[in-house]
């Protein structure tokens, strides 16, 4: 726990310092090239970037215990509420994509392990190769062209309801699915070759029961690991998709904020993402213990 | 004041005011008297009626997709410079003067009449019975509070000095005011045409601009959420209700997403399109293109110091770079090569005798005369701020290499570029005028701005700026040309191309037109069929 707290403090300081070291004056990002020094100074005073670095750091750090991440330079509203407005859309996208990826990976991965070399196994390998090699932005563009522009089935941009979720979720799911599928297939193949499976078959247990209960349970541990990695990816991996679909989530906000040098928003998104990542890892560790008593005993 | 003395026109005016003559009949009779249609429309608006105000109740929703959001989500138009800021201001607020036709004729809006009573004093008659969106009347005090602040050199307003000179307002009576400038200021009419009038109460409490905007324009500001600015029709607008009920300015960062939104019917207009986007709708009757750009130039900014302090070297660069080839080959025609230092659509633009057409031999000759033969190295920073910037910069570098100039290119992220561009000899950028007057950009070449942007300190320039500001009519156009000619000869920057600002519009939108300013003053005349 202490280790995690230290990690978050290091991230807070690193983000604060790195943003200031990166070239790009927020005042200049808000003004045209011909803006006079007086105009620039007005913006710097408004943003607080005219203060010494230590004063800026103190302003930032002193607000954190109260959940005060400051005020966005661009949006002129409290950063926390700005991010909070967009969290539901991003979570919805991330979890829909994860569910899609897992359902596909489980069905095709288990079938592929059960019938190696079959058409479904080959289909799974082809799909995972495609998902792994095609860039997310390209997949997003193709989905929009086919299903929004040509067929008119789904919206091309924005979020107006469940229909807006379909294409971005497929684009993100295609990015995380390959790793899930490969892990499930490999661990299921390994499990299905174990002695206890042969014994179960000898006892006349049905193939469906052997696959879904005995083998899958033992193959689940690597899957939990890979889902943990998926969640880490999804925290940052939705950014490209959100831009391609103009999806109003935290990722889009992060990109806009980096472009505008909106320091308070960038700092808050980075810190909150780091905290969620630490929390997810903790949950994964606990899940290991729940799924495999040997880990609990060793601990 | 350009008062029309013709007695028949005055009769028409009286009949119009008395309600004995409809707007269409007025236009018919005025054009029959020999007036151009745009002139008649101008008079119609000035004398108290909207030329083509919607006959039906406003209907439909218009979505305009931009590549940028508002500058900083606060609605004080005098402190921000973004495209969306100007779009919102032009719809939510009204100004004393304004635009009602594509030819850029200035007509009365909150003022019904105006005249210069001295070289530094403009007297205006305010329109009666106009209200802000909260129901409060627009008064002379509101006008004074707004313009006094814009004209205060110590007021900290970003637009001061660029669009507005030092000026103040005297209230003569409830409907008569005087705008008094400290010095003669030629572009005053054009500046007042883009000067939104705010309630005096808002001026006294500027924090309110962070929450909302209240004006007297054809649209009421409703909200700004998730990068969308939403406005609803003001059916009480003095010029008649606008044609479209709801207007949304949507920020769609990605260029592909913008064109997809248009093609999928989620946006009706996309702004400042690239040649690739134009190609996507080329030949498609479902879309049309409107391109009435403000005075916008794509320039390669030189730092006029060290080796580029020499006029011969700068002229050599102008001869070395094939601007037409860049416009044709990279901008794919979405640009127009100027032969003067101001945009080709600027009032006062005249092609200069020396065109600086592509002539590498002449470039080498000038370089040799300046003491450079294959031994000049320039630094250049590039990024993605301007469309096709990297390709244009590569082309410029190649043209310069061809005449023996080495170019050391550094690629920067946009933020780093905007902060450090003036540390490099050459950087591509755009310059736009917000008030349809070349004075706006000509002013950048003197004083602190010239030092900061171009490392330029040329004492000959300020008198030229003052001369065009203090002139009027045709004399002013001649003075503008004099200054443009001087700059063109000096070549303190590379005037690469006009930026054409093509907007792609869905054919569901009718009567959508633009006047060469950044905002959308003619949008109230547009309608949309579902």
**Segment B361-390, tens digit of pLDDT:** 999 999 999 999 888 999 999 998 888 999
From residue B195, alpha-carbon distances to B144, B338, B379, B507 in Å are 12, 29, 40, 31
Q: Which among B210, B415, B452 is the nearest to A23, CB-wise? A: B415
Compute the average pLDDT of residues A191-205: 89
Of chain A, the percentage scoring pLDDT greater than 70 comes to 97
CA B113, CA B127: separation in Å to the nearest integer?
9
User: A28-37, A48-57, A101-110: which range is least confident on average?
Assistant: A28-37
CB burial readout B79-89, b (16+ within 10 A) else e: bbbbbbbbbbb
Assign residue B282 a region (left: φ > 0; alpha: ψ between -120 and 50; beta: otherwise). Answer: beta
CA B180, CA B183: separation in Å to the nearest integer?
9
A35: pLDDT confidence band, cut at 50, 70 and 90?
confident
pLDDT of residue B173: 96
Closest listed residue to residue A42, CA positions, set B444, B154, B454: B154
What pLDDT, in 10s, does the model give residues A54-96?
898 888 888 888 888 888 888 888 999 999 999 999 999 999 9
Identify the closest residue of chain A to B427 by CA–CA distance: A33
Q: Are A149 and B260 in contact (CB under 8 A)?
A: yes
A234: pLDDT confidence band, cut at 50, 70 and 90?
confident
- Is the pLDDT assigned to residue B487 strictly greater than 50? yes
CB contact under 8 A, B256 and A152: no
Identify the closest residue of chain A to B446 by CA–CA distance: A34
- Kindly give the interhelix angle for A79-114 and A119-133, rounded to the nearest 10 degrees: 150
- Is the pLDDT assigned to residue B32 strictly greater than 90? no
What pLDDT, in 10s, does the model give residues A252-265?
999 888 888 888 99
Closest listed residue to residue B294, CA positions, set B73, B86, B26: B86
pLDDT of residue B208: 93
Closest listed residue to residue A28, CA positions, set A47, A7, A43, A11: A43
Compute the average pLDDT of residues A138-151: 95
Structure tokens at B306: 């060290």
Of chain B, the percentage scoring pLDDT greater than 90 comes to 74
For B60-105, strand residue ranges (E) read 61-66, 97-99
Compute the average pLDDT of residues B214-229: 93
- Alpha helices (H) in B7-125, listed in sequence order: 7-17, 23-32, 37-46, 83-92
pLDDT of residue B203: 95
Task: Tell me the nearest-neighbour CA distance from A10 into chain B, angstroms.
Answer: 25
Task: Tell me the nearest-neighbour CA distance from B253 into chain A, angstroms.
Answer: 7
- Is the pLDDT assigned to residue B515 strictly greater than 90? yes
DSSP lists the bridge partners of residue B296 as B432
Chain B residues with CB inside 8 Å of A33's CB?
A: 301, 418, 421, 429-431, 453
CA B366, CA B319: separation in Å to the nearest integer?
9
Q: Whose structure tokens read 């190609």?
A: B279
pTM for the full model? 0.85
Task: Tell me the nearest-neighbour CA distance from B417 into chain A, angstroms.
Answer: 8
CB contact under 8 A, A35 and B158: yes
Q: Are strands B97-99 and B106-108 parallel, antiparallel or unpaired?
A: antiparallel
* Angle of CA points B437, B440, B444, to nearest 5°: 150
**For residue B357, what is the DSSP state?**
-
DSSP lists the bridge partners of residue B253 as none
First to last CA, chain A: 15
**For residue B171, what is the DSSP state?**
E
CB contact under 8 A, A22 and B416: yes
Chain B residues with CB inside 8 Å of A77's CB?
A: 73
- Is the pLDDT assigned to residue B92 strictly greater than 60? yes
Q: Are B107 and B99 in contact (CB under 8 A)?
A: yes
B43: pLDDT confidence band, cut at 50, 70 and 90?
low
Q: Are B121 and B178 in contact (CB under 8 A)?
A: yes
- Is the pLDDT assigned to residue A275 strictly greater than 90? no
Identify the closest residue of chain B to A247 by CA–CA distance: B252
Q: Which among A155, A243, A256 is the nearest to B266, CB-wise? A: A155
pLDDT of residue B161: 82
CA B521, CA B100: separation in Å to the nearest integer?
7
pLDDT of residue B37: 56
Closest listed residue to residue B320, CA positions, set B247, B251, B395: B395
Q: Are B504 and B273 in contact (CB under 8 A)?
A: yes
Compute the average pLDDT of residues B270-294: 92
Q: Of residues B430 and A37, which shows the higher confidence score?
A: B430
Task: Tell me the nearest-neighbour CA distance from B47 into chain A, angstroms.
Answer: 37
CB contact under 8 A, B261 and A33: no
CB contact under 8 A, B158 and A85: no
CATH architecture for segment(s) B94-210: Alpha-Beta Complex (3.90)
In SS3 terms, A141-169 reads as HHHHHHHHHHCCCCCCCCCCCHHHHHHHH
**What dotted CATH number matches B296-498?**
3.10.105.10
Work out the burial of residue B168: count CB atoms within 10 Å of its CB; fewer than 13 is exposed, 13-18 middle, 19 or more buried: middle
Structure tokens at B27: 């236009």
A residues 255-294 closer than 8 Å to B (CB): 255-256, 258-259, 261
- Is the pLDDT assigned to residue B419 strictly greater than 90? no
Q: Are strands B405-411 and B376-382 parallel, antiparallel or unpaired?
A: parallel
Assign residue A33 a region (left: φ > 0; alpha: ψ between -120 and 50; beta: otherwise). Answer: alpha
CATH architecture for segment(s) B219-291+501-528: 3-Layer(aba) Sandwich (3.40)
Compute the average pLDDT of residues B105-110: 95
CA B472, CA B464: separation in Å to the nearest integer?
14
Measure the CA dihedral B333/B335/B337/B338, to 10°: 150
Preferred mutation among A19, A24, A34, A171 to probe B, highest tally of B CBs within 10 A: A34
Domain coordinates of chain A in residue numbers? 2-66, 90-248
Q: Are B114 and B123 in contact (CB under 8 A)?
A: yes
Task: Tell me the nearest-neighbour CA distance from B440 into chain A, angstroms.
Answer: 10
Closest listed residue to residue B163, CA positions, set B130, B183, B188, B144: B188
Q: Three-class SS of residue B393?
A: helix
pLDDT of residue B3: 41
Chain B residues with CB inside 8 Å of A152's CB?
A: 264-265
- Is the pLDDT assigned to residue B2 strictly greater than 60? no
**What dotted CATH number matches A90-248?**
1.10.3720.10
Closest listed residue to residue B296, CA positions, set B197, B169, B431, B161: B431
A298/B contact by beta carbon, under 8 A: no
Compute the average pLDDT of residues A177-192: 91
Compute the average pLDDT of residues B256-260: 94
Work out the burial of residue A206: count CB atoms within 10 Å of its CB; fewer than 13 is exposed, 13-18 middle, 19 or more buried: exposed
- Is the pLDDT assigned to residue B449 strictly greater than 60? yes
Task: Tell me the nearest-neighbour CA distance from A177 into chain B, angstroms.
Answer: 25
Chain A residues with CB inside 8 Å of B158's CB?
A: 31, 35, 39, 42
ipTM of the predicted structure?
A: 0.84
CB contact under 8 A, B260 and A248: no
**For residue B211, what is the DSSP state?**
T
From residue B253, alpha-carbon distances to A252, A257, B259 in Å are 9, 12, 11
Task: Tell me the nearest-neighbour CA distance from B456 into chain A, angstroms.
Answer: 13
CB contact under 8 A, B156 and A152: no
| Contacts of B437 by beta carbon, 8 Å cutoff, 6+ apart | B187, B190, B191, B295, B346, B347
Work out the burial of residue B385: count CB atoms within 10 Å of its CB; fewer than 13 is exposed, 13-18 middle, 19 or more buried: middle
Q: Which among B71, B81, B264 is the nearest to A149, CB-wise? A: B264
pLDDT of residue B416: 83
Q: Are A83 and A271 in contact (CB under 8 A)?
A: no
Compute the average pLDDT of residues B152-181: 92
Q: What are the DSSP calls for B401-465, one per residue?
A: HHTTEEEEEEE--HHHHHHHGGGSSEEEEEEE-SSS-THHHHGGGSHHHHHHHH----TTHHHHH
Q: Which range among A147-151, A233-237, A270-274, B44-48 has the greatest average pLDDT?
A: A147-151
pLDDT of residue B347: 92
A42/B contact by beta carbon, under 8 A: yes
Q: Which among B79, B419, B452 is the nearest to A25, CB-wise? A: B419
pLDDT of residue B307: 93
pLDDT of residue B234: 97
Q: Name the strand (E) or helix (H) holding A15.
A: helix A2-21
Domain coordinates of chain B in residue numbers? 3-47, 94-210, 219-291+501-528, 296-498
Identify the closest residue of chain B to A255 by CA–CA distance: B253
| Average pLDDT score over chain B | 90
CB contact under 8 A, A33 and B301: yes
Closest listed residue to residue A75, CA positions, set B213, B73, B71: B73
Q: Which among B267, B418, B444 is the nearest to A24, CB-wise? A: B418
Work out the burial of residue A43: count CB atoms within 10 Å of its CB; fewer than 13 is exposed, 13-18 middle, 19 or more buried: buried
| Contacts of B300 by beta carbon, 8 Å cutoff, 6+ apart | B396, B426, B427, B428, B429, B493, B494, B496
pLDDT of residue B52: 45
Q: Which among A30, A37, A85 is the nearest to B448, CB-wise? A: A37
Q: Which range among A205-214, B239-248, B409-418, B429-438 has the greatest average pLDDT?
A: B239-248
Closest listed residue to residue B198, CA positions, set B120, B110, B108: B110
CB burial readout B431-456, b (16+ within 10 A) else e: bbbbbbbbbbbbbbbbbebbebbbbb
A21/B contact by beta carbon, under 8 A: no
| Average pLDDT score over chain A | 88
Compute the average pLDDT of residues A243-248: 92
Chain A residues with CB inside 8 Å of B421's CB?
A: 33
Task: Tell me the nearest-neighbour CA distance from B185 into chain A, angstroms.
Answer: 21
pLDDT of residue B361: 96
What pLDDT, in 10s, does the model give residues B50-68?
444 445 789 999 999 998 8
Q: What are the DSSP calls for B111-126, one per residue?
A: EEEEEEEETTEEEEEE
CB contact under 8 A, A29 and B421: no
From residue B33, alpha-carbon distances to B1, B7, B10, B26, B70 in Å are 21, 11, 12, 11, 45
CB contact under 8 A, A246 and B252: yes
CA A234, CA A227: separation in Å to the nearest integer?
10
Preferred mutation among A88, A156, A242, A255 to probe B, highest tally of B CBs within 10 A: A156
A residues 152-171 closer than 8 Å to B (CB): 152, 155-158
From residue B148, alpha-carbon distances to A255, B144, B152, B177 in Å are 39, 6, 6, 12
Q: Which among B162, B250, B260 is the nearest to A156, CB-wise? A: B260
Q: Whose structure tokens read 């205006």?
A: B124
Compute the average pLDDT of residues B489-518: 94
pLDDT of residue B4: 42
| Contacts of B187 by beta carbon, 8 Å cutoff, 6+ apart | B163, B435, B437, B439, B440, B469
CA A31, CA A77: separation in Å to the nearest integer?
19
Q: If you count residue pairs, one on A and one on B, with CB atoms under 8 Å apart, how many are there?
A: 122
């Amino acid at each position: 726990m202490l280790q995690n707290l230290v990690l978050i403090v290091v991230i807070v300081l690193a983000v604060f310092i790195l943003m200031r070291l990166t070239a790009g004056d927020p005042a200049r990002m808000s003004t045209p090239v011909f803006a006079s020094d007086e105009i620039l100074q007005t913006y710097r005073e408004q943003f607080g970037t005219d203060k010494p670095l230590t004063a800026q750091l103190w302003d930032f750090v002193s607000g954190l215990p109260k959940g005060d991440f400051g005020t966005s330079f661009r949006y002129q509203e409290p950063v926390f509420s700005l991010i909070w407005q967009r969290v539901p859309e991003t979570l919805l996208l991330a979890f829909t994509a994860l569910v899609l990826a897992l359902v596909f990976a489980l069905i095709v991965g288990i079938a592929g392990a059960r019938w190696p070399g079959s058409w479904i196994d080959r289909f799974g390998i082809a799909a995972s190769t495609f998902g792994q090699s095609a860039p997310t932005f390209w997949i997003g563009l193709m989905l929009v062209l086919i299903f929004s522009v040509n067929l008119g089935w789904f919206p091309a941009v924005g979020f107006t309801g469940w229909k807006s979720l379909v294409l971005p979720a497929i684009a993100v799911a295609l990015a995380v699915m390959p790793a899930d599928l490969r892990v499930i297939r490999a661990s299921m193949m390994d499990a299905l070759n174990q002695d206890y499976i042969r014994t179960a078959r000898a006892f006349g247990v049905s193939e469906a029961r052997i696959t879904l209960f005995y083998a899958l349970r033992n193959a689940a541990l690597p899957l939990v690991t890979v889902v943990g990695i998926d969640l880490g990816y999804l925290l940052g991996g939705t950014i490209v998709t959100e831009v391609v679909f103009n999806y109003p989530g935290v990722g889009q906000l992060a990109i806009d904020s980096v472009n505008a040098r909106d320091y308070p928003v960038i700092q808050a998104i980075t810190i909150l993402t780091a905290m969620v990542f630490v929390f997810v890892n903790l949950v994964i560790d606990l899940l290991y213990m729940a799924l495999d008593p040997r880990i609990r005993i060793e601990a | 004041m350009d008062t029309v003395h013709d007695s028949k026109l005055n009769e028409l005016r009286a009949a119009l005011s008395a309600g004995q003559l409809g707007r269409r009949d007025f236009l018919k009779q005025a054009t029959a008297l020999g007036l151009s249609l745009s002139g008649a429309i101008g008079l119609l608006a000035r004398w108290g009626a909207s030329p083509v105000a919607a006959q039906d109740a406003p209907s439909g929703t218009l979505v305009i997709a931009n590549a940028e959001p508002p500058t900083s989500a606060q609605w004080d138009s005098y402190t921000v410079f973004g495209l969306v800021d100007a779009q919102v201001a032009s719809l939510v607020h009204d100004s004393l003067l304004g635009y009602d036709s594509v030819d850029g004729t200035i007509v009365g809006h909150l003022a019904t009449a105006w005249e210069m009573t001295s070289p530094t004093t403009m007297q205006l008659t305010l329109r009666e019975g106009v209200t802000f969106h909260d129901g409060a009347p627009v008064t002379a005090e509101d006008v004074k509070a707004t313009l006094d602040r814009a004209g205060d050199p110590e007021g900290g307003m970003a637009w001061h000095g660029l669009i507005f000179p030092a000026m103040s307002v005297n209230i003569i009576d409830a409907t008569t005011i005087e705008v008094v400038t400290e010095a003669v200021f030629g572009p005053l009419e054009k500046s007042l045409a883009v000067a939104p009038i705010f309630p005096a109460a808002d001026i006294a409490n500027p924090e309110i601009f962070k929450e909302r905007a209240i004006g007297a324009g054809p649209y009421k500001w409703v909200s700004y959420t998730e990068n969308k600015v939403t406005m609803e029709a003001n059916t009480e607008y003095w010029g008649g209700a606008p044609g479209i009920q709801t207007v949304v300015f949507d920020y769609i960062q990605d260029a592909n997403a913008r064109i997809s939104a248009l093609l999928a019917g989620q946006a009706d207009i996309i702004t400042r399109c690239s040649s690739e986007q134009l190609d996507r709708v080329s030949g498609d009757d479902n879309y049309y293109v409107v391109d009435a750009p403000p005075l916008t130039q794509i320039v390669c900014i030189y730092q006029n110091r060290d080796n580029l302090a020499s006029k011969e070297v700068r002229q050599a660069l102008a001869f070395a770079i094939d601007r037409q080839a860049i416009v044709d080959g990279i901008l794919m025609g979405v640009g127009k090569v100027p032969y003067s230092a101001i945009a080709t659509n600027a009032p006062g633009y005249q092609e200069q005798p020396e065109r600086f057409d592509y002539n590498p031999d002449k470039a080498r000759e000038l370089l040799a005369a300046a003491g450079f033969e294959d031994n000049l190295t320039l630094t250049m920073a590039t990024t993605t701020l301007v469309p096709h910037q990297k390709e244009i910069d590569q082309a410029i570098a190649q043209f310069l290499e061809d005449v023996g100039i080495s170019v050391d290119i550094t690629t920067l992220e946009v933020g780093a570029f905007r902060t450090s561009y003036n540390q490099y000899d050459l950087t591509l950028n755009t310059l736009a005028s917000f008030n349809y007057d070349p004075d706006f950009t000509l002013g950048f070449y003197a004083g602190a701005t010239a030092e900061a942007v171009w490392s330029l300190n040329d004492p000959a320039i300020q008198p030229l700026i003052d001369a065009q500001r203090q002139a009027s009519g045709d004399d002013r156009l001649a003075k503008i040309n004099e200054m443009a000619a001087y700059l063109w000869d000096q070549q303190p920057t590379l005037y690469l191309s006009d930026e054409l600002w093509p907007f792609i519009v869905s054919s569901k939108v009718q009567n959508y037109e633009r006047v060469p300013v950044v905002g959308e003053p003619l949008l109230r005349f547009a309608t949309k069929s579902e």
